[in-house]
Amino acid sequence: MQAAAPRLRVHRRRWGEGVVKGALALCALVSIATTIGIVAALLEPSLEFFREVSLVDFFSGTDWAPLFEPARFGVLPLIVGTLSVTFWAVVVAVPFGLGAAIYLSEYARPGVRKALKPALEVLAGVPTVVYGYFALVTFTPFLRSLGLDVQIFNAFSAGVVMGIMIIPTVASISEDAMNAVPQSLRDGAYALGSNKLEVSVRIVVPAAISGIVASFVLGISRAVGETMIALLAAGQLAQLTFVPFEPVETMTAFIAATGIGDVPTGSIEYKTIFAVGLTLFVMTLAMNLFAIRLVRKYREVYE
């Protein structure tokens, strides 16, 4: 029988499909362009800045007074200020973030965890300017009422409040890593007679250590890059001190405080924004890339 079989025609390639793919790739290019834009925006004025101020003076000078005559451009006070605030943030965020993660991953029942996780995220959702207000208007006066000799603007208040804000960052990344640890490891340890504490601390935490370290690094990176709490509560006095109750100026606070004014384009003041911004960007970039690598590592091992 020679039936007229329906002829299967090969469709021409639809050109629209290609156009769509191109348009979507273009969307994706925006984020590449953002990175290139950031690097370009930072580099050009920074290079001009370093033509006027030597790198050695910038990184070894202990005096930051760009607006004075004669101007001095030693960035160390800003870096020390940043580290000082970050230190207190880490002192709060690391132990409590890790504790919260262990509780959520190892101790909480599924229902409790499901309710607690988003509740903890609320802490990260409060705008930073609100934390800044709280640190300056409530927390610092509270410390004073305890009889502590703290200045109105100080690194300690800013750091502690910042640390609380960062707890969810540390907790959620650490908890992800602990969740990825295979149940068989825990079961093995229980079979050998371990109790819950030993399983958590000696089995789960070491097994998830790369993710936990990543969460610490990302937490530090957030503290280094946080602006509003530092600007409002730590002050704008660039002094080289690690004393917690003294005012300091962080890199971010300097950038914000200088950028607020209508600084003339091309002036040395204007360029300091970019030189300090580049320093900040390189520091946080290094930490972020390191943390991303660590996270990939535990994903490769366990998933």
56-95: contacts with other proteins (CB under 8 A): 95
274 lines the binding site for other proteins (CB under 8 A)? yes
21 lines the binding site for other proteins (CB under 8 A)? yes
Q: Which is nearer to other proteins, 73 or 281 (CB)?
A: 281
Check if the beta carbon of residue 253 is closer than 8 Å to that of residue 230. yes
Residue from the set 50, 87, 96, 190 that interacts with other proteins by CB under 8 A:
96
Q: How far is CA 32 from CA 25, 171, 260, in A?
A: 11, 29, 28
132 lines the binding site for other proteins (CB under 8 A)? yes
Element at 73 (helix H, strand E): strand 72-73
Coil, strand or helix at 267: coil
222 lines the binding site for other proteins (CB under 8 A)? yes
Residue from the set 57, 61, 72, 99 that interacts with other proteins by CB under 8 A:
99
Check if the beta carbon of residue 123 is closer than 8 Å to that of residue 248. no
125 lines the binding site for other proteins (CB under 8 A)? yes
Q: Which is nearer to other proteins, 12 or 70 (CB)?
A: 12
Q: Which is nearer to other proteins, 2 or 31 (CB)?
A: 31
Classify burial at 190, counting beta carbons within 10 Å of its beta carbon; exposed 0-12, middle 13-18, buried 19 or more.
middle
Q: Which is nearer to other proteins, 29 or 243 (CB)?
A: 29
C-alpha torsion sign, points 294, 296, 300, 303:
positive
* Contacts for 145 with CB less than 8 Å, ≥ 6 apart: none
- Subset of residues 191 to 220 that bind other proteins, contact rule: CB under 8 A: 195-197, 200-201, 218
Residue from the set 97, 159, 244, 247 that interacts with other proteins by CB under 8 A:
97
Q: Which is nearer to other proteins, 87 or 133 (CB)?
A: 133
C-alpha torsion sign, points 12, 13, 15, 16:
positive
Residue from the set 2, 31, 184, 267 that interacts with other proteins by CB under 8 A:
31
Residue 15, number of CB atoms within 10 A of its CB: 8
Longest distance between any two alpha carbons in the chain, whole Å = 104
Residue from the set 83, 85, 90, 136 that interacts with other proteins by CB under 8 A:
136
Distance in Å, CB of 141 to other proteins, minimum:
11
Distance in Å, CB of 271 to other proteins, minimum:
11
Estimate the crossing angle of helix 251-260 against helix 76-102, to 10 degrees: 120
Q: Which residue in 91, 102, 83 sits closest to 211, CA to CA?
A: 102
Distance in Å, CB of 4 to other proteins, minimum:
21
Coil, strand or helix at 261: coil
Q: Given the rule CB under 8 A, which of 34-42, 54-62, 67-75, 240-248 is the region that contacts other proteins?
A: 34-42
Check if the beta carbon of residue 138 is closer than 8 Å to that of residue 132. no
Q: Which is nearer to other proteins, 100 or 177 (CB)?
A: 100
- Subset of residues 223 to 242 that bind other proteins, contact rule: CB under 8 A: 224-228, 231-232
Distance in Å, CB of 70 to other proteins, minimum:
26
Q: How far is CA 247 from CA 70, 82, 239, 303, in A?
A: 23, 11, 8, 47
Distance in Å, CB of 122 to other proteins, minimum:
7
Q: Which residues pair with 65 in a beta bridge?
A: 72
**Residues 152-171 vs other proteins: string with x where CB under 8 A?**
---------x--x--xx---
